Amino acid sequence: MKIFSPDGKLYRFMVRFTDCVKLELLWLLCSLPVITIGASTAAAFTVTLKMVKDREGRIAHEFFAAFKANLRQGIAMTFITALCAWAVYLDLQLLNVPGGGSVMFLIIAVLAIYIFSFSLLYAFPLMARYENTLMKTIRNSFRLSMKFFLRSLLLLIAVAIECAVFMWNMQTVIIGLLVGPVLVMYTISWVASGIFDKVDSDNADI
């Protein structure tokens, strides 16, 4: 039947799903030391940026090559991302402290979430696609988020919805464990790839 042929939609879906599961396992494996989560994520984005254009080759080969290339910066990004998350968490906890500082802490928390989210939104895809210093990568992520603000805001909402769906019930949690993080990266890569192509076509500095 045509549906099961290599040109059929079901066949292509199953191939893509299998590739995502492979990439998820590689990402999990290389994230186990914890401090290498950043490098593992950058490596996964290297593959998903190619996936959205159907240009990926051997998943494992491309992943490990990118993992090795981004190891040093990736470890640094792990600590930066963890520090940002801890700062937001700490500020949200301070909202529960009795006293008159709740409004101030709320404002700080909202600003921190805004700055950190847009500063990190494209950071890993940028690491995967361009060679740059870590601070310039984070700064460029924020610049691109502001330049393409509506697109970036919708992307954050889409990612939030995906995460909520994966945590909906036990069945979706299992699916999330299989492909959740990679599907989120794929979604970000789909938007980021278009933005990067636009920047490249305009010969803009990044």
For residue 189, what pLDDT is reported? Answer: 96
Domain count, the chain: 1
Domain assignment of residue 25, yes or no:
yes
Residues in Cβ contact with 105 at an 8 Å cutoff, skipping those fewer than 6 apart: 91, 94, 95, 97
Q: Return the percent helix, strand and coil in the chain, to nearest 5.
A: 80, 0, 20
Domain assignment of residue 184, yes or no:
yes
Q: Quickly state the pLDDT bin for 4 (edges 50, 70, 90).
A: low
Please tell me the pTM assigned to this model. Answer: 0.88
Q: Quickly state the pLDDT bin for 156 (edges 50, 70, 90).
A: very high
Between vectors from CA 83 to CA 80 and to CA 88, what angle results, nearest 5°? 130
Residue range(s) defining the domain that contains residue 28? 2-201
47 in Cβ contact with 23 (< 8 Å): yes
Render pLDDT for 77-109 as a digit per residue (tens, 0 to 9). 999 999 999 988 887 777 776 665 567 777 888
Domain assignment of residue 188, yes or no:
yes
Domain assignment of residue 171, yes or no:
yes
Domain assignment of residue 206, yes or no:
no
Distance of alpha carbon 122 from alpha carbon 140, whole angstroms: 8
